A and B are shown apart, each in its own frame.
Chain A
Amino acid sequence: MNTKPDSAPAQDTPTSFALPVVSGRNEATPAAHDHDHAHDDVVTEALAHATTRAVPAEGAYGKTYWLGLEEKLATPAFLEETRPEFPVGADLPPTGFARREFMQILGASLALAGATACSTRPQDERLVPYTKTPPEVTPGNPLHYASGMTFAGHTSGLLITAREGRPIKVEGNPQHPINKGAAGPFEQAFLLSLYDPQRARVLRQGNNPRSLRVLAEDVSSLVSTKAAGDGGARLRFLSEPMNSPLLGDVKARIQRKLPAARFHSYSPVDQAADEAHRALFGQPTHALYDLTRADIIVSLDADFLESRPANLSMARQFADRRDPKNGELNRLYVAEHRMSITGGMADHRLRVKSQEVFGLAAALAQAVGGPAASLGASASGKAGTLRPEVASWVQAVAQDLKSKAGRSVVMAGERQPAAVHALAQAINAALGNLGTTVKVVPAAAPEASGLAEIRALVEDIKAGRVDTLVITAFNPLYTLPVDAGLAEVLDPKLNANRKALSVLYAGHYEDETSKYADWFVPLAHQLETWSDGRAVDGTVSIAQPLIQPLFNGVPEAELFALFLDEPYRPAYQMLREYWTAQGGEAGRADFETRWETWVSEGVVPGSIAAGLTASPDLGAASTLVGAYQSPAAGDLEINFVTDYKLFDGRFANNAWLQELPDPITKITWDNAAILSPATAKRLGLENGNVAELEYGGRKLQVPVTVLPGNADDTVTVNLGYGRTGLHEVVAKDVGVNANLLRSVNAPWFDGGAKLTKVRGSHTFARTQYHWRMEGRPLALDMSVSELAHPSTNTEHILERVQGELELGKRNVLPDFDYAKNPTEGYKWGMAIDLSRCTGCNACVVACQAENNIPVVGKEQVGRGREMAWLRIDRYFEGSENDPSMVMQPVACVHCEKAPCEYVCPVNATVHSDEGLNDMVYNRCVGTRYCSNNCPYKVRRFNYLHYTQGKTSTEKMLMNPDVTVRNRGVMEKCTYCVQRIERVRINARVEKRLIQETELQTACQQTCPTQAIVFGSLADPAQRVTQLHEDERAYRLLHELGTRPRTAHLIRLRNPNPALVAAAPEQNAAPKGGH
Chain B
Amino acid sequence: MEAKVLDSWVLAEFATPDALVDATRQMREKGFLGMDTYSPYPLHGGSEALGLPPSRVPFIALGGGLTGLVTALAMQTWMNTVDYPLNIGGRPLLSLPAWVPITFELSVLFAAFGIFFGLLGLSRLPQPYHPAFESEEFRSASTHGFWLSVPHPTGQDAADVKNQLTALGATHVTVVSGENA
Q: Which residues of A contact B89 (CB under 8 A)?
A: 895, 897-902, 911
Asked if residues B88 and A907 are in contact (CB atoms below 8 Å), the reply is yes
Asked if residues A911 and B92 are in contact (CB atoms below 8 Å), the reply is no
A895 to B88, CA, bound (A): 11
A1052 to B50, CA, bound (A): 91
Asked if residues A1043 and B90 are in contact (CB atoms below 8 Å), the reply is yes
Question: B30 in the interface, Cβ–Cβ < 8 Å?
Answer: no
A466 to B90, CA, bound (A): 75
Asked if residues B91 and A813 are in contact (CB atoms below 8 Å), the reply is yes
Asked if residues A913 and B87 are in contact (CB atoms below 8 Å), the reply is yes
Question: B86 in the interface, Cβ–Cβ < 8 Å?
Answer: yes
Q: Which of B84, B86, B87, B91 has the most CB of A within 10 A?
A: B87
A 899-924 binary contact with B (CB < 8 Å = 1; else 0) = 11110100100111100000000000
Q: Which residues of A contact B86 (CB under 8 A)?
A: 907, 910-911
**Which residues of A from 429 to 471 have beta carbons under 8 Å from B?**
none
Of chain A, the residue at the smallest CB distance from B86 is: A910
Q: Which residues of B contact A813 (CB under 8 A)?
A: 90-92
Asked if residues B88 and A902 are in contact (CB atoms below 8 Å), the reply is yes
Interface residue from A900, A902, A907 paired with B91 (Cβ < 8 Å): A902
Q: Which residues of A contact B92 (CB under 8 A)?
A: 813-814
A895 to B89, CA, bound (A): 8
Q: How many interface residues does chain B have, given as a range? A: under 10
Of chain B, the residue at the smallest CB distance from A1043 is: B90
Question: A896 in the interface, Cβ–Cβ < 8 Å?
Answer: yes
B89 CB, min distance to chain A CBs, angstroms: 4
Question: A816 in the interface, Cβ–Cβ < 8 Å?
Answer: yes
**Which residues of B from 56 to 107 have beta carbons under 8 Å from A?**
84, 86-92, 98
Interface residue from A899, A904, A910 paired with B87 (Cβ < 8 Å): A910
Of chain B, the residue at the smallest CB distance from A930 is: B89
A638 CB, min distance to chain B CBs, angstroms: 53
Q: Which residues of A contact B90 (CB under 8 A)?
A: 813, 815-816, 895-898, 911, 1043
Q: Which residues of A contact B84 (CB under 8 A)?
A: 907
A912 to B86, CA, bound (A): 8
Of chain A, the residue at the smallest CB distance from B87 is: A911
A492 to B169, CA, bound (A): 117
A897 to B91, CA, bound (A): 7
B90 CB, min distance to chain A CBs, angstroms: 4
**Which residues of A from 801 to 848 have beta carbons under 8 Å from B?**
813-816
Q: Which residues of B contact A907 (CB under 8 A)?
A: 84, 86, 88
Of chain B, the residue at the smallest CB distance from A901 is: B89
Q: Which residues of B contact A912 (CB under 8 A)?
A: 87
Q: Which residues of B contact A1043 (CB under 8 A)?
A: 90
A897 to B90, CA, bound (A): 5
Q: Which residues of B contact A896 (CB under 8 A)?
A: 90
Q: Which residues of B contact A895 (CB under 8 A)?
A: 89-90
B87 CB, min distance to chain A CBs, angstroms: 4
Of chain B, the residue at the smallest CB distance from A897 is: B90
B77 CB, min distance to chain A CBs, angstroms: 15
Q: Which residues of A contact B88 (CB under 8 A)?
A: 901-902, 904, 907, 910-911
Of chain A, the residue at the smallest CB distance from B90 is: A897
Q: Which residues of B contact A814 (CB under 8 A)?
A: 92
Of chain B, the residue at the smallest CB distance from A910 is: B86
Q: Which of B88, B89, B90, B91 has the most CB of A within 10 A?
A: B89
B67 CB, min distance to chain A CBs, angstroms: 24
Q: Which residues of A contact B91 (CB under 8 A)?
A: 813, 897, 901-902
A815 to B91, CA, bound (A): 9
A632 to B88, CA, bound (A): 65
A911 to B86, CA, bound (A): 7
Q: Which residues of A contact B98 (CB under 8 A)?
A: 902
Q: Which residues of A contact B87 (CB under 8 A)?
A: 816, 910-913
B99 CB, min distance to chain A CBs, angstroms: 13
Of chain A, the residue at the smallest CB distance from B84 is: A907
A896 to B89, CA, bound (A): 6
A899 to B87, CA, bound (A): 12
A183 to B89, CA, bound (A): 35
A816 to B84, CA, bound (A): 16
B42 CB, min distance to chain A CBs, angstroms: 44
Of chain B, the residue at the smallest CB distance from A902 is: B89
A1026 to B89, CA, bound (A): 25
B102 CB, min distance to chain A CBs, angstroms: 12
A910 to B86, CA, bound (A): 7
A912 to B87, CA, bound (A): 7
Of chain B, the residue at the smallest CB distance from A817 is: B87
Q: Which residues of B contact A900 (CB under 8 A)?
A: 89
A814 to B90, CA, bound (A): 8
A902 to B90, CA, bound (A): 9
B84 CB, min distance to chain A CBs, angstroms: 8
A910 to B98, CA, bound (A): 17
Q: Which of A895, A902, A913 has the most CB of B within 10 A?
A: A902
A901 to B87, CA, bound (A): 9
A814 to B91, CA, bound (A): 8
A902 to B87, CA, bound (A): 9
- Having A897-B90, A901-B91, one finds 15 other A-B pairs with CB under 8 Å, namely A813-B90, A813-B92, A895-B89, A898-B89, A898-B90, A900-B89, A902-B98, A904-B88, A910-B87, A910-B88, A911-B87, A911-B88, A911-B90, A913-B87, A1043-B90
19 contacts between A and B (CB under 8 A): A813-B90, A813-B91, A813-B92, A814-B92, A815-B90, A816-B90, A897-B90, A897-B91, A898-B89, A898-B90, A902-B88, A902-B91, A904-B88, A910-B87, A911-B86, A911-B87, A911-B88, A911-B89, A1043-B90
* Closest CB pairs A-B (n = 7): A901-B89, A911-B87, A897-B90, A902-B89, A898-B89, A910-B86, A901-B88
